[in-house]
Amino acid sequence: MTTNNKEVFERIYQQNQGMVLQMCLGFVKGDEDSANDLSQEVFISVWNNLHKFKGLSSYKTWIYRITVNTCLQFVKKENKKGEIRTQEFKEVVEETQDEASHKNPISDLYKAIGQLKKVDRLLIMMVLENEDNDTIAEIMGISAINVRVKIHRVKKRLEKILKNI
């Protein structure tokens, strides 16, 4: 890597670290350790592919896509590990999360987001990052009007989930 690429990477990292971590937290239902690991994987991928960036979108949009792909790969890997192990510890984990979550509304929010479909998680995490509908539409490959409709529906689902937490 050239010095210029190192500087670009450092700038990208500084500008997007928070957003990437936030997105990762949403995908792993608030598990900070997993989110930090995923965030690190995202930036390793950014570093390894920086020379491939063609400038057809902003760095932020490009990093969103890398983040989403990394998180989706993580979710797929976790699903392949088997639901048996997940089911065995589900009650213990839920009890622990319930005790902690009632002390922390942020934890409740991540728990609720974790119950959404993968695409809806992505959408709501971008909303939480204050992304505008046009940017979200570009990232997701849908129209801005469709984004507004989906956001409304996801918020309604989150309200229902949060009432039951």
For residue range 20-66, what is the model confidence (pLDDT) as tens digits?
998 888 878 778 888 899 999 999 999 999 988 888 888 888 898 88
Total domain count for the chain?
1
CB contact burial 139-152 (16+ within 10 A = b; e otherwise): bbeeeeeebeebbe
**pLDDT for residue 122:** 82
- What is the percent of the chain with per-residue pLDDT over 70, rounded to a whole number? 82
Domain residues for the domain of 49 are 3-163
CA distances from 61 to 67, 79, 107 (A): 10, 27, 27
pTM of the predicted protein model: 0.60
